Amino acid sequence: MQWVIPAEENAAFVCQMEQVLDVYEQPYDADFPVVCLDESPKQLLDYQEFTASNGQPHRDSEYVRRGVVELFVATEPLRGWRELTVENDTTKPPRGCSLWPG
Separation between Cα atoms, residue 97 and residue 83, nearest integer Å: 9
Stretch 74-87: mean pLDDT? 89
Helix, strand, or coil (residue 18): helix
- Tally of CB atoms within 10 A around 60: 9
- Tally of CB atoms within 10 A around 70: 18
100: confidence class by pLDDT, cuts 50, 70, 90 = low
| 63 CB-near residues (< 8 Å, 6+ apart) | 45, 46, 47, 48
Q: In what order do the strands lie in the sheet with 81-87?
A: 36-51, 57-76, 81-87
Stretch 82-92: mean pLDDT? 79
pLDDT at 24 over 80: yes
The pair phi, psi for residue 29, each rounded to 5°, is -135, 110
Q: What is the pLDDT of residue 13?
A: 80
- The answer to whether the pTM exceeds 0.85 is no
